[in-house]
Structure 1
Amino acid sequence: MGFRKVIKSNAYYSRFQTKYKRRREGKTDYYARKRLITQAKNKYNAPKYRLVVRFTNKDIIMQIVSSEISGDKVLAAAYAHELKAYGITNGLTNWSAAYATGLLIARRVLSKLGLDKTFVGVEEADGEFTLTESAETDDGERRPFKAFLDVGLARTSTGARVFGALKGASDGGIFIPHSEKRFPGYDIESKELDAETLRKYIYGGHVAEYMETLADDDEERYNGQFVKYIENDIEADGLEDLYTEAHKAIREDPFKKPEGEKKTKEEWKAISKQHKVARISKAEKAANVQAKIQKILAEE
């Protein structure tokens, strides 16, 4: 069969339907969103909550969101940079920080709803797979606050950080339907979860192991990669205690504000300008090109 050119006529273009803007921009998976926000019709005005988890280069954003006709409503939010108030100053985007941020938003939303005493979750994380169950109160059985994990466009590989956030929120007392299959330590052949491996990730054990290995093998690289840890006198042996104390502090006060003065608008603007590349003229660009050419010729 020979090559046949596809000819798109006026009829094709006149009937062409553009996709939603956020789909065109690659920001929203509407197939998943439709299933996450559609509520059962027999539940009437009961909101369906999503635990939204998003990762940036330097932060983790977590929100409890419900969808309405007028738009999405945020019930509570927590960010990894807030962990500085609880003693976690470094590695704010790793697996352990994701767990701590999940724990923070869980305790925060339950405190806001007055359910923090009823649903305490797992107070000492041991890596075991658990789901938040109904609790007995003076008024009878009380079901836990329920939310569904919303990972957006992130890959859901086994051991991914989004599941660290999920585990933290689940241990914090929120009921999030899930299984143990995507946690680090799950063996696909035996179909069992190694609780010790999961516990290691919760308390930064994997980071501690890497720190020790790198310090022994390549000290120069260690000093460069963990420079902030060294400045704050954080050693591999002290990571577990650091995260343990942070988890306790989060449970004591999930609304704690960081100490110290906030940066002013002018200070943030000055910081922003440090990373902004100055625009150069056409003549300067041409001069730079010629300089590079001369450098290459000189090397030859």
Structure 2
Amino acid sequence: MNHKETKDKSYFTRLQVHYRRRREGKTDYQARKNMIVQDQRSINTPKHRLVVRRTNRCVIAQIILATIQGDKVLCSAYSTELKKYGIAVGLTNYAACYATGLLVARRLLKKLKLDTLYAGVSEITGKDKAVEANKKGPRPFKAYLDTGLVRTSTGARVFAVMKGACDGGLNVPHNVKRFVGFNRGSKKFDAAVLREHIFGIHVSKYMKELQKDDPEAYKRQFSAYEKAGITADKIEEMYKKAHAAIREKPEHVATTKNVPEKKGHFNKKAHMDKFPLKLRQARWRMKLDAVKRKMKNAQAVFDEDD
């Protein structure tokens, strides 16, 4: 005989409700705990994370420190900021992700005054090069990659941000198995393929093929490129100039917005409180005299009718 399973009062009293971000499917708290947990021998030692998130319109890279009070953001960079460096379109592709990682790295090191000690990679070839400690100064800034809920497959764009941060001078522990150009079958890494993706050469090749095979699809897909005056032959040079501009001036410049002043509701009482006491008393006497005159006139009219 099958008994029906019932949820009595004791079941609900022991029920533990998950955290809000766990219920919403935004945070894997088990992975987060494993990433920010500290050794008992190194209490209060900062453990930084390179947090990478990608939306439909931009890429976000942040250097975050977890504390008991909450997370603290030390530095952040958005791919929408690449417009002032000459990259006006394709703000979520592989090359833009690399440029965003380079920007957050150079911006953080500039903030900590370590940009001269750790200049990063001068010539981008796609090869993996570890950041070596400088004997004259402090050790390189170390951060662990936080990919969130993104599937960490080979060629994912989150690793392009990490590659840009490493070439920018940050020490992010990694290997080449998740970069574009790594062959899982032969277990070999082709740095030339990664370099093509860093400079957007793969986009350039696709633009040429699509323009030749299907001009209508090309106009529909790359209309923003045509509007910005960017052709397939100009893409590589665009990213080279952007990388040089990022290294020259990575600081964040706050923009000022002209927001119109809000016209609040007229408060008569607050308006009257601005007047002196004697003036308010005089206004009150004037109003009282006017009311008395009206009442006197009305009484006179009433007496004449009688």
In the alignment, the residues of structure 2 paired with residue 98 and residue 41 of structure 1 have an alpha-carbon distance, to the nearest angstrom, of 36
State the partner residue of 2:190. Answer: 194
1:174-226 Cα shifts (integer Å, max 9, x gaps): 00000100001101122111000000010001111111111011101111111
- SS for the counterpart of 1:181 is helix
- Structure 2-normalised TM-score? 0.81
CA pair 188-9 structure 1, distance change in 2 beyond 3 A: same
State the partner residue of 2:163. Answer: 167
State the partner residue of 2:287. Answer: none
State the partner residue of 1:212. Answer: 208
Please tell me the residue identity of whatever aligns with 2:228: N
Superposed CA RMSD: 1.7
State the partner residue of 1:105. Answer: 104
List runs of 5+ in structure 2 lacking aligned partners. Answer: 261-306
In the alignment, the residues of structure 2 paired with residue 245 and residue 124 of structure 1 have an alpha-carbon distance, to the nearest angstrom, of 13
Please tell me the residue identity of whatever aligns with 1:118: L
In the alignment, the residues of structure 1 paired with residue 223 and residue 107 of structure 2 have an alpha-carbon distance, to the nearest angstrom, of 32
Confirm whether residue 224 of structure 1 aligns to residue 199 of structure 2.
Answer: no
Following TM superposition, the consecutive aligned residue runs of length 4 or more in structure 1 with deviations greater than 3 angstroms are 2-6, 261-266
TM-superposed deviation, 1:257 = 4.1
CA contact (8 A) 2:95 2:198 kept: yes
Name the % identity: 52
TM-superposed deviation, 1:105 = 0.3
CA contact (8 A) 2:200 2:236 kept: yes
1:228-281 Cα shifts (integer Å, max 9, x gaps): 1001111111111110110011001101649xx866557xxxxxxxxxxxxxxx
CA contact (8 A) 1:85 1:256 kept: no
State the partner residue of 2:239. Answer: 243
Please tell me the residue identity of whatever aligns with 2:218: Y
Alignment of 1:1-300 (within 5 A): 5-137=4-136, 142-255=138-251, 257=253, 264=258
In the alignment, the residues of structure 1 paired with residue 18 and residue 125 of structure 2 have an alpha-carbon distance, to the nearest angstrom, of 46
Higher alpha-carbon Rg: 2
1:45-91 Cα shifts (integer Å, max 9, x gaps): 22110001011111111110001111100100100000001000000
Please tell me the residue identity of whatever aligns with 2:98: Y
Please tell me the residue identity of whatever aligns with 2:83: K
CA contact (8 A) 2:110 2:251 kept: no
